[in-house]
A and B are shown apart, each in its own frame.
Chain A
Amino acid sequence: MSPLGDPRGAPSGLTRSEELVLGVSAAFLLFLLVAMLTGALGPTYFLFLVGLAGMYALLSLGLNAQWGFTGLINFSVAAFFGIGAYGTALMTASGSPIAGGLSPLAGLAVALVAAFALALLIGIPTLRLRADYLAIASLGLAEVVRLIALNERWLTNGSAGVRGIPGFFRGWPVLSTFPDAMPGLRIEVIPGSPVILETAFWQASLNVLLVLAFAGVAYAVLRRAHRSPWGRVLRTIRSDEDLARALGKHTYSFKMQSFVLGSLIMALAGVFYAHLNLYVGPGDLDPITTFYAWVAVILGGSGSNRGALFGGVVIVAIREGTRFLNDVALPIDPAPLRLLLIGVVIVAVMRYRPQGVLPPQRELIWPRAVGGSGTPETPDSGVRERKGGGGDE
């Protein structure tokens, strides 16, 4: 598949697709707001969805740093997600068979160190070789990590999973007691169906705050790193690694940096998940997570950070949105329907917009350097149309 799609795509297509994305997102938000005010959608559940969206956004941002930037094929997204989740769970949970009871900050640190080590472990033997080797090895890695979580009871509690994970903000000043301290609120927009905001809601707000912080940091780091000489070398490697080597770039080192960076971001998603769900089990390491992350990146546009964010949100919309199908009397089980729907979306994207919904459009040149004389006055006719507006990525 062509990594960036057809560079001769309609020149105005990007603008239109961005408008479309904006429009659909706005409509969707409005719909959710109405649903919430009318009591059809519980506000706590809504915040849970936002949290999940942030989590998938993190996963796809991480994969984007590997596949989108550098062309590294990583099929073990679930393993890095899992190592993040288990890393913090085993440190902080009351039900942890090893340490337990530590501060979630220590859990975060352990999770990141573990993901770092795992990335090195798989990267060192494979990143010197052709891209396919990482793909094959990562397939195996995902399964190995899952089986360890399932079978090494002394470490992971086996199939019972790890229970009793505290919220991320336990032990923090103010924030740890914030949900309980907040008064319950009762909002009645439509008479007869009040919306009640209580402890669970405030707890969920904190989680959203956490995932926004994680995703915000990840996005800011990736954005700065991508539009730079560093990101340019990665894109050269993705396109033609031999050329990068001939120009004196130590491609192994660059690939390793990109791989580790992506893996750490995936582990962040795992850390968030553990403190959101308060339980981690081997089922959380199922390959479906990897699959979702890939769909999100391809859908959003490989190499585009905004695309990855967007893709993550779409995944949650499909995954959770289809739950409402349960309420409709369908003759079949909606769960497989969900996968079918995602498959249809992928086929449609590949057919009609192979470069993704929001493909990368900026040159990978340090923004401050282009800001002066170098900015072309006219939009280029290629993949990356320049626009007057601010925008990002």
Chain B
Amino acid sequence: MSEGALPEGDAALRVDDLRKSFGGLTATDGATFDVERGTITALIGPNGAGKSTLFNLISGFYEPDGGSVTVTGTDVTGMEPHEIADHGLIRTFQTPRKLAGMTVREAMLVGPRNQPGESFRALFTSPGAVAESESANLAAAERILAEFEIDHLATQPATDISGGQMKLVELARAMLADPAVLLLDEPVAGVNPTLADKLKDQIRRLNRRGTTVLLIEHDMQFVMELADTVVVLDQGSVLTEGSAAEVRTDDRVIDAYLGGNG
């Protein structure tokens, strides 16, 4: 687990002067902020502010033009997504990724990192170790499904469940990867209020167990209730950051959301 991995007060995720342009369009323009270890931080901003681009830069799906990303003390700038995941940063996607031809629990079992059975050779040389870790992972997956109260879906096709349930499964799978830092891209978009509450509880619970969370979300109610810190992004750079209450009353934030700035 990530607990105790870092000195108190250190940043689990540090984004420093990150830049990215697509042709003439500057999507990320010197974004800088820290996500303190053990906190839940929300990344908000109007449409087109560059939130998803920032997620893609942090998780290695885009290569930044400049600046750096540090995960639990390691500079991961320019690394491949799988290497960044290996350093403990796991992300979800805005639109739930459908795994065709897999059952829910099968799709969840892709989550755990560095499984012995992911080595082709180990399948033949140490089947015992493979079976052992597979049983443990399967038990963990079923435990989380039960916690989320969707254990009845375990053997359903992963493509046949509702959008909200898919969001839950995504979170569950990310949890199985045991991340130090978890990036959630709109975890409750299109999710009904009951399920959203459930998701909120689970994110909080995960956070209490030591996972640092950074999330993008448009549902302000959700953000206000959950986030310790809110980072407001506008036109590719950080407009302001602070507690939910501070940010809510900030005139610049209101301006940005209402399109007041030219």
Q: Which of B112-160 contact A (CB under 8 A)?
A: 113-120, 123-124, 127, 130-131, 133-135, 137-139, 142, 154-157, 159-160
Contacting pair A229 B117 (CB below 8 A): yes
Instruction: Determine if B99 is an interface residue (Cβ-Cβ < 8 Å).
Output: yes
Quick check: which of B15-23, B37-45, B101-109, B199-207 contacts chain A, the rest being far away? B101-109
* Other-chain contact of A364, B81, B102, B138, B155 (Cβ < 8 Å): B102
Contact status of A7 and B100, CB under 8 A, knowing A224-B123, A229-B134, A247-B85: yes
- Which residue on A lies nearest to B128, using beta carbons? A368
Contacting pair B138 A229 (CB below 8 A): no
Q: Which of A227-279 contact B (CB under 8 A)?
A: 228-230, 232-233, 235-236, 239-240, 242-251, 257, 261
CA distance A244 to B138 in the complex (A): 18
Quick check: which of B6-14, B86-94, B223-231, B240-248 contacts chain A, the rest being far away? B86-94
The number of chain B residues with a CB under 8 A from chain A is: 52
Inside 8 A of B106's CB, which chain A residues have their CB?
A: 232, 363-365
Instruction: Determine if B61 is an interface residue (Cβ-Cβ < 8 Å).
Output: yes
Contacting pair B91 A246 (CB below 8 A): yes
A362 to chain B, nearest CB (A): 10
Instruction: Determine if A374 is an interface residue (Cβ-Cβ < 8 Å).
Output: yes
Quick check: which of A36-44, A100-108, A377-385 contacts chain B, the rest being far away? A377-385
Contacting pair B103 A229 (CB below 8 A): no
Contacting pair A369 B156 (CB below 8 A): no
Inside 8 A of B208's CB, which chain A residues have their CB?
A: none
Contacting pair B93 A242 (CB below 8 A): yes
Inside 8 A of B97's CB, which chain A residues have their CB?
A: 239-240, 242-243
Inside 8 A of B254's CB, which chain A residues have their CB?
A: none
A318 to chain B, nearest CB (A): 28
Contacting pair A360 B160 (CB below 8 A): no
Inside 8 A of A247's CB, which chain B residues have their CB?
A: 82, 85, 90, 110-111, 113, 173, 177
* Other-chain contact of B101, A7, A228, A233, A249 (Cβ < 8 Å): A7
Instruction: Determine if A372 is an interface residue (Cβ-Cβ < 8 Å).
Output: yes
Q: Name the residue in A229, A230, A365 with the highest tally of chain B Cβ atoms < 10 Å from its Cβ.
A: A229
Contact status of A229 and B115, CB under 8 A, knowing A240-B99, A247-B85, A247-B110: yes
CA distance A112 to B81 in the complex (A): 33
CA distance A381 to B99 in the complex (A): 16
Inside 8 A of A364's CB, which chain B residues have their CB?
A: 102, 106
Contacting pair B103 A233 (CB below 8 A): no
Inside 8 A of B103's CB, which chain A residues have their CB?
A: 363, 380, 382, 384
Inside 8 A of A130's CB, which chain B residues have their CB?
A: none
CA distance A225 to B116 in the complex (A): 13
Contact status of A381 and B91, CB under 8 A, knowing A240-B98, A369-B138: no
Contacting pair A229 B130 (CB below 8 A): yes
CA distance A225 to B127 in the complex (A): 11
Q: Name the residue in A245, A248, A360, A381 with the highest tally of chain B Cβ atoms < 10 Å from its Cβ.
A: A248
* Other-chain contact of A368, B90, B91, B131, B157 (Cβ < 8 Å): B131
Inside 8 A of B212's CB, which chain A residues have their CB?
A: none
Inside 8 A of B118's CB, which chain A residues have their CB?
A: 229-230, 233, 249
Instruction: Determine if A334 is an interface residue (Cβ-Cβ < 8 Å).
Output: no
Inside 8 A of B86's CB, which chain A residues have their CB?
A: 248
B189 to chain A, nearest CB (A): 17
* Other-chain contact of B124, A224, A239, A382 (Cβ < 8 Å): A224
CA distance A244 to B99 in the complex (A): 10
- Which residue on A lies nearest to B119, using beta carbons? A230
- Which residue on B lies nearest to A261, using beta carbons? B120
Contacting pair A229 B111 (CB below 8 A): no
Contacting pair B82 A239 (CB below 8 A): no
A259 to chain B, nearest CB (A): 12
Contacting pair B110 A246 (CB below 8 A): no
Contacting pair A246 B81 (CB below 8 A): yes
Instruction: Determine if B68 is an interface residue (Cβ-Cβ < 8 Å).
Output: no
Contacting pair B109 A233 (CB below 8 A): no
Instruction: Determine if B165 is an interface residue (Cβ-Cβ < 8 Å).
Output: no
Contacting pair A248 B177 (CB below 8 A): yes
- Which residue on A lies nearest to B92, using beta carbons? A246
Inside 8 A of B102's CB, which chain A residues have their CB?
A: 232, 235-236, 239, 363-364
Q: Name the residue in B86, B106, B113, B120 with the highest tally of chain A Cβ atoms < 10 Å from its Cβ.
A: B120
Q: Name the residue in B82, B90, B98, B159 with the highest tally of chain A Cβ atoms < 10 Å from its Cβ.
A: B82
Contacting pair B123 A230 (CB below 8 A): yes
A242 to chain B, nearest CB (A): 7
Please provide the 9 A-B residue pairs with the shortest distance between their CB atoms, ordered closest to farther: A248-B85, A382-B157, A229-B117, A369-B134, A4-B101, A366-B134, A245-B81, A380-B155, A368-B131
Can you add 16 more A-B contacts, CB < 8 Å, to A229-B118, A236-B110, A242-B93?
A3-B100, A224-B123, A228-B117, A229-B115, A229-B130, A239-B101, A242-B97, A245-B82, A246-B92, A247-B85, A248-B114, A249-B82, A369-B138, A370-B138, A372-B135, A380-B157
- What would be 30 A-B contacts, judged by CB atoms less than 8 Å apart? A4-B100, A7-B101, A7-B157, A7-B159, A221-B124, A228-B134, A236-B107, A239-B101, A239-B102, A242-B81, A242-B97, A244-B110, A245-B82, A246-B93, A250-B80, A251-B82, A261-B120, A363-B155, A365-B138, A366-B117, A366-B130, A369-B131, A369-B137, A372-B135, A374-B135, A374-B139, A380-B155, A380-B156, A380-B157, A383-B101
